[in-house]
Amino acid sequence: MKKIFTCLSLFALQLSITAQPDNITSYKKSVVMIPMRDGIKLYTVIFSPVTASKPVPVLMQRTPYGADVSEDYTILNVPYFSNMAKEGYIFVLQDIRGKYKSEGRMEIHQPLLHLTQKGAVDESTDTWDTVDWLIKNVSNNNGKAGILGISYPGWLALVGSVDPHPALKASSEQACMGDLFLGDDFHHNGAFRLSYGMEYSYEIEHDPTTDSDFPFTQFDNYDWYIKLGSLKNVNEKYFHNSIPTWNNFVKHPNYDDFWQKNSPLSYVKYPAIPQLHVGGYFDQEDINGPQLMYEQMEKKDSFNRNYIVLGPWNHGQWGRFKGDSLGKISFEKNTGVDFRELQKKWFDYWLKGIGDARLNDTVGQGKFDEATCFQTGNNIWKTYNTWPPKEATIKNLYAGANNASSFSKPGNSNGSISYVSDPSHPVPYRTQPIEATYGPGSRWRPWQVEDQRFVYTRPDVVSFTSDSLTEDMIVTGKITAHIFASTTGTDADWIVKLIDVYPNFDQKNLLMSQYQLPVAMEVFRGRFRKSFEKPDALIPNKPEEFVIGLHEINHAFKKGHRLMIQIQSTWFPLIDRNPQKYVPNIFEAKENDFIKATHTIYFSSQYPTHIELPVMKVSDNL
User: Could you tell me the CATH number of the domain that includes residue 106?
Assistant: 3.40.50.1820
H helices present in 161-308, as ranges: 194-205, 222-228, 232-233, 244-251, 257-261, 264-267, 289-298
Tell me if the pTM is above 0.85.
Answer: yes
What is the tally of structural domains in the chain? 3
Hey, what's the torsion of the CAs at 351, 352, 357, 359, to 10 degrees? -120
Q: Assess whether 521 and 397 both reside in one domain.
A: yes
Look at residues 244, 260, 276 and tell me which one is the last residue of a structural domain. Answer: 260
Instruction: Report pLDDT for 400.
Output: 98
Instruction: Report pLDDT for 19.
Output: 53
Name all contacts of 70-77 with Cβ < 8 Å and 24+ positions apart: 73/29, 74/27, 75/27, 75/47, 76/24, 76/25, 76/26, 76/27
Instruction: Report pLDDT for 213.
Output: 95
**In contact, 56 and 89? CB cutoff 8 Å:** yes
Bridge partners of 462, per DSSP, are 567
Q: Assess whether 255 and 274 both reside in one domain.
A: no
Q: Assess whether 521 and 575 both reside in one domain.
A: yes
- CATH code, domain carrying 230: 1.10.3020.10
Look at residues 337, 366, 384 and tell me which one is the last residue of a structural domain. Answer: 384
Instruction: Report pLDDT for 109.
Output: 84
How many CB atoms within 10 Å of residue 74? Answer: 14
Look at residues 226, 260, 294 and tell me which one is the last residue of a structural domain. Answer: 260
Q: Assess whether 156 and 289 both reside in one domain.
A: yes
Enter the DSSP assignment of 48.
Answer: E
Instruction: Report pLDDT for 359.
Output: 59
Instruction: Report pLDDT for 267.
Output: 93
Q: Which of 475, 594, 478, 572 is nearest to 523 (CA)?
A: 572
Bridge partners of 525, per DSSP, are 493
- CATH code, domain carrying 518: 2.60.120.260
Q: Assess whether 251 and 352 both reside in one domain.
A: no
Q: Assess whether 212 and 300 both reside in one domain.
A: no
Q: Assess whether 174 and 190 both reside in one domain.
A: no
Q: Assess whether 138 and 285 both reside in one domain.
A: yes
Q: Assess whether 322 and 253 both reside in one domain.
A: no
Instruction: Report pLDDT for 619.
Output: 66
Range of the domain at 243: 186-260
Q: Assess whether 468 and 487 both reside in one domain.
A: yes
Please give the backbone phi and psi of residue 611, each rounded to the nearest 5 degrees, phi first: -120, 130
Q: Assess whether 284 and 245 both reside in one domain.
A: no
Q: Assess whether 232 and 142 both reside in one domain.
A: no
Instruction: Report pLDDT for 357.
Output: 65
Q: Which of 118, 150, 189, 608 is nearest to 411 (CA)?
A: 608
Question: What's the full length of the chain, in residues?
Answer: 622
Q: Which of 235, 256, 255, 261 is nearest to 246 (CA)?
A: 235
Q: Are strands 191-192 and 187-188 parallel, antiparallel or unpaired?
A: antiparallel
Instruction: Report pLDDT for 12.
Output: 39
Q: Block means of pLDDT (10 residues each) for the chain, length 622 residues?
A: 36 42 92 98 97 95 94 92 97 97 90 92 97 98 98 97 97 96 94 97 91 95 97 97 96 97 93 97 96 96 95 97 97 97 96 78 59 98 96 98 97 95 98 95 96 97 98 98 98 98 96 98 98 98 98 98 98 98 98 98 98 88 62
